[in-house]
Each structure stands twice: as C-alpha cells, then as structure tokens.
C-alpha cells in the first residue's frame, strides 16, 4: 500500500476565484487517484493534527523567522490579505499551512516506517517560501522543514531534496544550502519566476545543483540531464532519505511556464529516483492544468507501485 496523506482541510486555503493555485487542484488529483486501476493499493491517511505534533513549531522556527510566522498569523486572523501580489492569505490559511507542514512530516514518518514511498497531497505549496517571507503562492517551506525533521530521526544523517517543479525553489535552497547534511537539486525553466537558480550556485558545501532549462525544452533535454547530472549528484551524496518537491507545471499544457513535458515523463523521473532509493517522500508543489496535473501524479504513483511489484 502506498500512503496518500490528504485532508479536505487543505481546500480551506482560499486564494480567490481566478487564482491558479486553487483548491480544485487537489480535488482533481484525488478524484483521478480514486478512479485509478490501482486505487485499492492506495492508503488514504489524514495528517496528524497540529496540536498533536509537538515537534512542528520548533521546526517551523528553524526554517522561518518568528516575525514572519507572526505576520502570517496576523493577516489570517484579521480576515486575510496578501503577502505579495501572487500570494493571498485567507482566514484559514495559517492553520491550513501548518497542517500541510504536518502532512509533510507525516510523509517522513511513513517512509521511514516502511522504507517505501509516500505521496503528500497537500497545499499550500512551499518551495518559494523563504525564511522571512512567503511568496509565489507559498506560505511555509514544507520540503525544507521536512528535511530538518528527518535529520532528527534515528539513522538519518543526510537528506536530499530534489525539486522538479518548473520554477526554482528559491525558498528551499536558501533554507537548506548552509546545512552540509542536506543536498538540494533543482531542474527548472530559466528565465522564469522567481529568477533564481543559476548553475553557478553551488551551496555552502557544494551541496546544491541547479539545472536551468531553456523555455520550449522537452524530455529530450531533461533525460540527458537526469542521467549525467541529477542521478550522479544524488548518488554521490548518499542520502538516507529523498524528498521530492513534486511540481507538475513543466507540462506542455500548464499555463504558467513554457516547458513541454508530458505526464508520462514523470514516470521516468520517478524511475530514476527509485533507482537511487525507495525511501522517497513525494510532496505536491505546482501544477495548474488540472488534467495533466492529475495524470502526472497518477504516473508518479503508478511507477512506485510497478517498481514495488517487480
């Protein structure tokens, strides 16, 4: 059984009628997974309530400044507003964002408990959230916090974060690049929002690999990069756990970028990851075309199940 960590509470982060990061993203994915031929192999798990996760707030403060956390809480508690022009906060956004962090931590627990993959189907996304500012639809840096949490678990000395979202995870990189126990690798369109992620950025411990990809690229560009750059970098780091910031906005149909991947390409990405380890947490980041988003998540999970059956 492959755990899917999900709650309808994630739908309560309201972004507005025309915002691309909408609750319907999760609804579309969940409906697709529940109709999949392998649906009986999925274990739907509710995230641990924040009040029952005492490690969450200390971890949050490791990744984000108290001033930013307070600011986000104040905006939500006074009826909502905006962190920037792209990043709305609704009355329940603070609580939902905390629950999303809890879900990612549950993903760590699930993977370490079974040595098999898990998928965190949560929102808001996180990889653009920096220590002192939310941005780019992101409130808390879910993947970075999950990596910090994993390092507190027995037997975990090194954690890798792989970010295949079409946008560079500036927040994740900024939070983890000073930590020699965490590696960060990102494949992303460049130029594109947020304008970070140059190939010359190597981290403080040679622990960052950024692979900027030109607009219009397809799998013929990605595949050689995986084989000659991504897999060797991750294999050399020898992480005890792999966290994937699984954004699906590099699909050709996605409205927010200009990369031409297809949903089945994510099965190949997943296969490369499984060739390194089965201890993988996949956590949702971007992806704004409901159909290709859903089919891409389906391809990711199906590849995990196929590899388990081999």
| Annotation says 167 is catalytic | no
Distance between first and last Cα of the chain: 15
CATH code where residue 275 lies: 3.40.800.20
Q: Identify whether the C-beta of residue 34 lies closer than 8 Å to the C-beta of residue 298.
A: no
pLDDT digits (tens, 9 = 90+) for 21-65: 999 999 999 999 999 999 999 999 999 999 999 999 999 999 999
- Please give the DSSP secondary-structure letter assigned to residue 181: T
Q: Mean pLDDT per segment of 10 residues, for the chain of length 310 residues? A: 98 97 98 98 98 96 98 98 97 98 98 98 98 98 98 98 98 98 98 98 98 98 98 98 98 98 98 98 98 98 86
Domain count, the chain: 1
Structure tokens at 167: 């946008």
Cis peptide bond prior to 308, omega within 30° of 0: no
**Per-residue pLDDT, 308:** 75
H runs (alpha helix) in 161-283 = 170-176, 219-225, 231-237, 265-276
Q: Among the options 13, 64, 127, 128, which is catalytic?
A: 128
Residue-number span of the structural domain to which 46 is assigned? 2-309
Q: What is the rounded average pLDDT for all residues in the chain? A: 97
Residue 50 CA to residue 210 CA, distance in Å, equals 33
Location of structure tokens 């980041």: 285
**Per-residue pLDDT, 208:** 98
Structure tokens at 135: 């941005």
Residue 168 CA to residue 186 CA, distance in Å, equals 6
pLDDT digits (tens, 9 = 90+) for 63-106: 999 999 999 999 999 999 999 999 999 999 999 999 999 999 99
- By DSSP bridging, strand 241-246 and strand 159-163 are parallel
Question: Does the global pTM surpass 0.85?
Answer: yes
**Per-residue pLDDT, 310:** 55
């Amino acid at each position: 059984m492959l755990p899917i960590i999900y709650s309808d509470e994630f739908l309560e982060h309201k972004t507005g009628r025309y915002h691309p990061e909408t609750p319907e993203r999760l609804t579309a994915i969940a409906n697709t997974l529940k109709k999949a031929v392998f649906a009986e192999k999925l274990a739907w798990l509710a995230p641990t309530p924040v009040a029952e996760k005492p490690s969450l707030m200390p971890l949050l403060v490791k990744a984000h400044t108290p001033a930013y956390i307070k600011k986000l809480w104040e905006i939500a508690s006074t009826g909502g507003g905006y962190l920037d022009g792209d990043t709305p906060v609704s009355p329940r956004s603070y609580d939902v964002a905390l629950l999303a962090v809890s879900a990612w931590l549950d993903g760590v627990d699930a993977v370490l408990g079974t040595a098999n993959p898990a998928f965190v189907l949560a929102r808001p996304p996180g990889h653009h959230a920096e220590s002192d500012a939310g941005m780019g639809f992101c409130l808390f840096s879910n993947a970075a916090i999950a990596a910090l949490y994993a390092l507190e678990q027995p037997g975990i000395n090194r954690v890798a974060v792989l970010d295949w979202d079409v946008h560079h995870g500036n927040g994740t990189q900024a939070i983890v690049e000073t930590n020699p126990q965490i590696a960060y690798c990102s494949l992303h369109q460049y130029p594109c929002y947020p304008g970070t992620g140059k190939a010359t950025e190597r981290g403080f411990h040679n622990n960052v690999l950024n692979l900027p990809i030109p607009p219009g690229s397809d799998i013929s560009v990605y595949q050689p990069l995986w084989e000659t750059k991504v897999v060797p970098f991750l294999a050399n780091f020898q992480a005890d756990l792999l966290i994937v910031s699984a954004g699906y906005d590099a699909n050709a149909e996605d409205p927010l970028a200009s990369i031409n991947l297809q949903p089945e390409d994510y099965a190949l990405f997943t296969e490369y990851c499984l060739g390194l380890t089965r201890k993988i947490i996949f956590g949702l980041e971007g992806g704004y075309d409901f159909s290709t988003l859903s089919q891409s998540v389906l391809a990711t999970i199906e590849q995990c199940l196929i590899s388990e059956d081999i």
